Amino acid sequence: MLRGHLVRDPAAQTTPWHHAPRDMMFTVIDNEVEFSAAGRRWPLKPMDMLLLPAGTPYTYTNYSRAETLFFSIGGKLPPGKKGVYFSADPGWPIRPDAPTMQVEIDGHGDARVVSGAPKG
C-alpha cells in the first residue's frame, strides 16, 4: 500500500527537520525546492525525483518568491510508528541528544507539530 499527497510549499519557507518511519519519494511538479538530508543537499526542479530511506531526517526549503508544488509518496506506516520532528538539525546518523518536538498524529497518519516547548 502506498500513500501520497500533494505538498504546497509557500515561498521562502522551510520545514522543521523530521523523518518518517517509511521510505519516501518526492517528485517536483512546479517551481524548485531544496531538500537537505544525511549531510547532503539536493536542489530539485520540475520532474526531478528524490528517494529517502525510512528514518532519514530531512528538511526542505523553497528559496523562491513563488509557491512550489511537489508530490510526496511513501509506503504504509508501520504499526505503532510515527514521524519524528526535531527542533534543530539532528545530524546523520541522528545524535542521541537531538531535541525533538511534540507532534500529534491524525487518522491518516499525518503528523502536526503541537504548539509549545520542545519535547526533549
Residue 120 lies inside a defined structural domain of this protein: no
**Are 111 and 103 in contact, with CB atoms under 8 Å apart?**
yes
Residue 36 lies inside a defined structural domain of this protein: yes
Per-residue pLDDT tens over the stretch 12-33: 999 999 999 999 999 999 999 9
- Which residues, 6 or more positions from 56, have their beta carbon under 8 angstroms from its beta carbon? 19, 37, 38, 92
Q: Could you give the angle at the alpha carbon of 85 between the alpha carbons of 26 and 51, nearest 5°?
A: 20
Per-residue pLDDT tens over the stretch 88-109: 999 999 999 999 999 887 777 6
For the entire predicted model, the pTM comes to 0.89
CATH code for position 32: 2.60.120.10
Q: Is the dihedral of CA 64, 69, 70, 72 positive or negative?
A: positive
Q: Which domain holds residue 103?
A: 2-113
**Are 70 and 90 in contact, with CB atoms under 8 Å apart?**
no
Domain count, the chain: 1
